[in-house]
Every structure is written in structure tokens, then in C-alpha cells.
Amino acid sequence: MKRIIVFANQKGGVGKTTCAINLAASYAEINKNTLIIDLDPQGNATTGLGIDKRSLSSSTYELLVTKEFVEPIDTDIENLKIICSHPDLAGAEIELVDDTDRNLKLRKKLENYSNFDVIIIDTPPSLGILTINGLAAARDLIITMQAEFYALEGLSMIINTYERIKSRLNPELNLLGIIVNMFMQRLVVSNEVLNDLRLHFKNKVFKTIIPRSVRVVESQSFGKPMITFDPRSVVSNAFRELLQEIEKNV
């Protein structure tokens, strides 16, 4: 069965896009035919893979708003393609607001991409039509968060959203797990939050922890995921371990 994973969190700044593109690159590295769909109007997944948004002839805007087929474009990574975002995507929510089928646009379009082994969807840090489309189209949800107390508030919001989407739009949606990202082990508060998470959510918190690293910021400036920017780094190996953990839980 094709794996369709959506990354979502209504709180921004938790490294959601970084996790999405690095997991996608990890799948591509093991020869999985992988597609990433950038549903965020900011287009960070697009620029994070070195794509110039100004050069696009089509994007996720056309994917949601028009009936035309959007051809995924190649990245610099073998086995990884992307349907890019464009600033026009911000207007899609307004254009679709009166469409009775507005929350299921992406789900229906994904039927055209059956040749991919893995589809990863990156959503904006808000709850609107774009994020709902991602949640309605996916089979698995991954929540990215930091080990800080403010992030716990954002976590409760996305869990509530997940439960509503599962009950009303997508009963097959599975909470695959919670990634603790940009973890700083030397901070007492980080360890306290991690312990609380594991106490409350148990095996839904991935055992693999993604550490904080300045190399991640550098990779973003070069338009590359860590998997290719610094393949032997602790962060890159953490994403490989995360992939193995996900696949063991299939």
C-alpha cells in the first residue's frame, strides 16, 4: 500500500518542513519513488529543495483550484520529485470557500500520482482549507514539535484537529507519531517536556529524537535537506533512524 504522510502542526517554528523534506529525502535514499507536495503558501519545502518559486509554470495552486494535471518536477535528489508551492496558493482558500467539495480536492487529485511509493504532504502552520486538505488526503499524520512548554499548547490543538478530521472527513487517518525536533538534551525543561510527552502519549512519541544543530540552518540556506547537505551528520542519521522506526511500525 502506498504511504501518504502529512506533516501538520498549527504552531509555527517547530521545524515541520525540515522534518518533511528530510524524511522525503531519506525515503528517496533507499530507492523509494517519493513525491513531496508543498501545501504551504510560504513555500519553504520548495525553497528547501533548491527550487526557485519564480520559475514555476504550475504549482499546488493549480493542483487544488483547477482541473489540470500538475506534473511533479525533479529535484537534485534521485527518486525525489516535488509539486511546488507558489504565493498564489494563499488565495486558494478564498477561491474554494464556496465549493462544497473544498476539503477533498487533494484526496481526489492524488489518484493521479499512483506511481509514487511515498507521498509526503507539508502543510501551513494554521488550520484552514489547505491543512484540512492535507489531513483529508493522507493515511498517516506526523506531528512535529519542540520540547518546550508553549509547544504543548500547539500539540493539544493539532490533536483536537486530528480527531475532528478523523471523525468527519477521513476515518482512515492514523496518528503515526510525534517527532520531538530541535532537542537540546542539556536543558532540564526539554527533558521534562519529553518525559511528560512519553508519559501521556506513550508509544505515539517516536523513540528517535532529532537534535538541534546549526548545520540545519546552513543546509536551508543552500536549498538542500541535511540528508544530502551533510549525509554523515548526527541529524541526518537521526532521520534515517526515524524512517526505520516508521517502517517497523507498518
Strand order in the sheet with 3-7: 73-74, 80-83, 34-38, 118-122, 3-7, 140-146, 174-181
CA–CA separation, 40 and 87 (whole Å)? 9
What is the arithmetic mean of pLDDT over 190-209?
Answer: 90
Q: Which of 87-96, 123-132, 160-169 has the lowest mean pLDDT?
A: 87-96
pLDDT cut 90: percent of the chain above it? 70
If pLDDT is split at 50, 70 and 90, which confidence band does 1 have?
low
- Enter the DSSP assignment of 1: -
3-class secondary-structure state, position 102: helix
Q: Which pLDDT does position 214 carry in this prediction?
A: 93
This prediction's pTM: 0.95
If pLDDT is split at 50, 70 and 90, which confidence band does 147 have?
confident
Average pLDDT value over all residues in the chain: 92
What is the arithmetic mean of pLDDT over 8-34?
Answer: 94
- Residue 250: pLDDT above 70? no
Q: Which pLDDT does position 121 carry in this prediction?
A: 98
220 near 18, Cβ under 8 Å? yes
Helix/strand number for the chain, H first, E second: 11, 7
- Residue 151: pLDDT above 80? no
Q: Which residue has the higher pLDDT, 190 or 243?
A: 243
- Residue 186: pLDDT above 90? no
Q: Which pLDDT does position 190 carry in this prediction?
A: 87
Angle of helix 16-29 versus helix 234-248 axis, rounded to 10:
70
Taken in order of first residue, the domains within the chain and their CATH numbers are: 3-241 (3.40.50.300)
Q: Which of 9-18, 120-129, 233-242 has the lowest mean pLDDT?
A: 9-18
The strand pair at 140-146 and 118-122 is best described as: unpaired
Q: Which pLDDT does position 240 carry in this prediction?
A: 97
CA–CA separation, 210 and 180 (whole Å)? 6
- Residue 39: pLDDT above 70? yes
